[in-house]
Amino acid sequence: MVHNNMTRTITAQTLADLWARLKAKAPRVHCITNSVVQNLTANTLLAVGAVPSMSTDAHEIDDFSRSAHALLVNLGTLDAERRHAIATAIPLIREAGQSWVLDPVMIDRAAHRLAYARDLLALSPSIIRANQAEADALGAHHTVLAVSGVEDRVETAQGRILLAHGHAYGSMITGGGCALSAIMAALAAVTDNPVLAAATGFAAYGIAQDIAARDAEGPGSFAVRLLDELANLSPERLAYDLSMRIEDQP
């Protein structure tokens, strides 16, 4: 649910404060995500100071969901077990008043996955993190939408926030977007403002990319440095480097 004052509170300082809070709180983030990116997602969460878990087993999903502070639902490599885990975990997270983030990976490539993503909208994700093609396929909804692109964008009913960070190497790392969605879930665990969580996620991930790209010699060394810079990024540096523009709805 997007509150009226959500974009009003967004400043470089509130982003930096949320980044600091993430490192102080070390929230548990349960990830139902695809097998291709589980490793990078877990390492990214550890780098930013969160505690990842990844089980999708029917015997365990209850316990992991109940003890998590936020949930990530990523639709890559969907299977029967993951569908069951998603159906179990989301209601538990919502009952506990926690946030969940939807990453509708490649819904523009498979009709069945698209229909499934649309059904999940009824369960009120706090943030949808997608690329433009996925966002277009998903269609209209009332959730905070975080669209990755050359310019990153957070869209809400009140307006939009634009962030100008990141490097072309970012799209040459598989699971980069998935890892970013996990960061947003971790941030959503320590604020009740999903717009702020989405903007801070874009800022931190984008600025870490800016720094990582400087000495990278290709996508391999870029990916390694990106984890380093996510771990090293201070709230002060985040605020100092931030390039963000807020456009209120007219």
225 binds a second copy (CB under 8 A): yes
Residues between 24 and 43 with contacts to a second copy, criterion CB under 8 A: 34-40, 42-43
Among 18, 47, 187, 213, binds a second copy (CB under 8 A): 47
218 binds a second copy (CB under 8 A): yes
Among 27, 76, 104, 235, binds a second copy (CB under 8 A): 76
Report helix angle 194-215 to 176-188, nearest 10: 140
Query: Min. distance of Cβ 36 from a second copy in angstroms?
Result: 4
91 binds a second copy (CB under 8 A): no
174 binds a second copy (CB under 8 A): yes
Q: 159-163 and 152-156: which strand pairing?
A: antiparallel
134 binds a second copy (CB under 8 A): no
Q: Count CA atoms within 13 Å of residue 75 on its CB side.
A: 26
111 binds a second copy (CB under 8 A): yes
Q: Interacting stretch for a second copy, rule CB under 8 A, among 1-9, 50-58, 154-162, 242-250?
A: 50-58
CB neighbours (10 Å) of residue 1? Answer: 10
96 binds a second copy (CB under 8 A): no
CA angle, corner 136, sides to 77 and 159, nearest 5?
A: 120
Binding site for a second copy (CB under 8 A): 34-40, 42-43, 46-47, 52-57, 59-60, 63-64, 67, 76-79, 81, 106, 109-113, 171-175, 216-221, 223-232
